Structure 1
Amino acid sequence: MHKSYGFRYTEDVNRHLFKLLSIGHSSVSDENYQWNGLRRGGQGIIFQWSIKGVGKLRIGKEHYTVPKGHAFVVSIPNDHEYAFDASLCDQWEFIWIRFEGFKEEWLRQDLLQTYGPVFEILPDAAPIQLLWRLYSDTAMNKLNDRFDLSLRIYEWMLSLQRCLLDGNAPTSLEIPSAYKRVAAYIQEHIADDLTLDRLAEVAQLDKYYLCKMFPHYFRITPMDYVRNRRIEKAAELLRDHGLSITNVAALCGYTSLSYFGKVFHKMVGLSPLAFRQLELSESEDYLRFLE
């Protein structure tokens, strides 16, 4: 059953928290469904994702459609209007969230300027899954206090940003065997001459296609992945004071000591020698880069 839920707060919420104003799942087929951002009350951000059919959206003088699998973001108050149009489809089904809080400027500025007001999001992408979970917990009265709710909205916002930056990758994306082979080969042959041509041979893919698709699964290019694994290995080997820095560089695939030093300093913030001399805590036995 399609339902919507509105929220009221019994006292002023800390300005550093998000406030959930409404959330809902609706299906409309009446052209009376129409919302104008200058006429409705209140404020905040609205995110709405089309499940079925298509809606129309106007922002200022610009007109858009919002088809299945696409979302739009608008702020209130603002000169916008979204509505059902029977000439576009018989029924428009969607899920939405309306909230306000101290980070909403990111959605209003950074996201809209970078991606525009309408963008595609896959059904199994993290922000959609988190939105459904929040809607379900609301319907089942399973929400906790305002701090937990604010945290969940912030988690959703970060997932939206990551989803768009990563090219809209699903949450549980299965990495094809070709790309797993490349990652394993890099790890096992870190000292070898790991050219893009060689990695393409391992993957049995065209190298241009490899470069295009590899970031969908690892969030960085193949050669950046090689660099990160090499510097991680170098940081591990530098703990062995029996190895010279020249040997460490060679064991990590660097034939030029000066180039190795430049790359290491850029990635770690220290020269290889300074890193070796640094006393690290026991909790920092290995260096890892988060892609």
Structure 2
Amino acid sequence: MHKSYGFRYTDKDSENRHLLKLLSIGHSSVADENYQWNGLKRGGQGVIVQWSIQGAGKLRMGKEHYTVPKGHAFMVSIPSDHEYAFDATLCDQWEFIWIRFGGFKEEWLRQDLLQMVGPVFELSPDSLPIQLLWRLYSDTAANQLNDRFDLSLRIYEWMLSLQRCLLEGNAPTRSEIPSPYKRVVTYIQDHIAEDLTLDRLAEAAQLDKYYLCKMFPHYFRITPMDYVRNRRIEKAAELLRNHELSITNVASLCGYTSLSYFGKVFHKMTGLSPLAFRLSEVSESEDYLRFLE
């Protein structure tokens, strides 16, 4: 039996900005073109993820139009300029499961995934996000949910599983990264102490700098200049092991002409000043710093 469930939170719960909140969850089939939702006309807030079990639906995001076939999901936020609907020209019936949630930092999920995979993406029925979604729906139907903190934790687990599934599934292997982007990475490693401007990186890649900025995160998940910063701070952490090098020399060898700016960036990335990092007790055989991207 297909059902949907809505949730309401008390004023006290609403004030807790650190909770993720389940606003609704459901499993439905539609065959009526009156099924239509406009993101600027419906009430409330939150993020909706809806996965097609059978059939297909249509989605408009701004001026872009998409089909959401079997095994695919879409993600939208409310309010925003979108509309999704049943279209009889696509199929006789559209069956789907959805979740609508809101609260603490839900936007990071939508923003990260939209940049990497777009508003419509494929998820296999046996993928962890879909398994967790069905489990949450079943527990809701059986009235087996625990308190609001446990529910928030489950939504967060589902969000992370979705992000991991999509980002890892779409991340190219090293052999799949096109040679222009490999050249940029090699150039950064070989010229870390130099003035690495975006123009120089684009020249090394033999690409337009705007195109480089657009495509680089697809292969490395961060911007070219953030990649430069991370490699510089990693190199600085390595050089700080050598107490014979002054911190001014370390900064210079990592491409920083301003000692104060180097200190600010290093502290922002590690939580320690260069001097405090140097004096901290860390094993000589340990890699001091690696940024996960």
Instruction: Normalising by structure 2, report the TM-score.
Output: 0.59
**What's the CA shift for 1:48?**
1.6
Matched, 1:53 2:50: no
Q: Single out whichever of 266-275 and 201-210 deviates more from structure 2.
A: 266-275
| Alpha-carbon distance between aligned partners in 1 of 2:77 and 2:224, rounded to the nearest angstrom | 37
Residues 194-247 of structure 1: CA deviation (Å, up to 9, x unaligned): 221221122221111101121222222111110111011101110111212122
Q: Is the 8 A contact 1:46 1:96 kept in 2?
A: no
* 1:111 to 1:261, Cα distance in 2 relative to 1, 3 A: closer
| Structure 1 stretch displaced more, 194-203 or 89-98 | 89-98
SS at match of 1:285: coil
The Cα shift of 1:274 comes to 2.1
SS in 2 for 1:231: helix
Identity %: 59
Partner of 1:235: 237
- Per the TM alignment, residue 288 of structure 1 is displaced from its structure 2 partner at its CA by 2.1
Structure 2 counterpart of 1:89, one-letter code? L
Task: Give the corresponding residue for 1:71.
Answer: 74
Over 3 Å counting, the alpha-carbon distance change for 1:35 and 1:89 in structure 2 is closer
Offset at residue 134 of structure 1 (A): 4.8
Q: Hey, what does 1:279 align to over in structure 2?
A: 281
**Structure 2: stretches of 5+ with no match in the other structure:** 5-18, 38-46, 79-83, 137-144
Q: How does 1:1-291 map to 2 (within 5 A)?
A: 30-31=31-32, 47-50=49-52, 52-54=55-57, 67-68=67-68, 71=74, 84=86, 86=88, 89-98=90-99, 104-106=101-103, 110-111=106-107, 120-123=119-122, 129-134=127-132, 154-160=156-162, 171-174=169-172, 175-280=177-282, 285-291=287-293
Bigger drift between 221-230 and 149-158 goes to 149-158
Query: Retained in 2: the 8 A contact 1:178–1:203?
Result: yes
Distance change (3 Å), C-alpha of 1:281 and 1:17: farther
What secondary structure sits across from 2:169 in the alignment?
coil
SS at match of 1:48: strand
Closer, same or farther: CA 128–56 of 1 in aligned 2, 3 Å: farther
Cα 1:66/1:222, change in 2 over 3 Å: closer
User: Aligned in 2, Cα 1:129/1:216: closer, same or farther, shift over 3 Å?
Assistant: farther
2:103 aligns to what SS in structure 1?
Answer: helix
Q: Give the superposition deviation at 1:269.
A: 2.8
- Number of equivalent positions: 244
Aligned-pair CA distance for 1:289: 2.4
Task: Give the Cα separation in 2 of the matches to 1:127 and 1:246.
Answer: 55
CA contact (8 A) 1:53 1:90 kept: yes
RMSD: 5.0
Q: 1:5 to 1:219 in 2, by over 3 A?
A: same
With over 3 angstroms needed to count, the CA separation of the structure-2 counterparts of 1:271 and 1:127, relative to structure 1, is farther
Post-superposition shift, 1:260? 2.0
Using the TM superposition, give the Cα deviation of residue 177 of structure 1 relative to its aligned residue in structure 2, in angstroms. 3.1
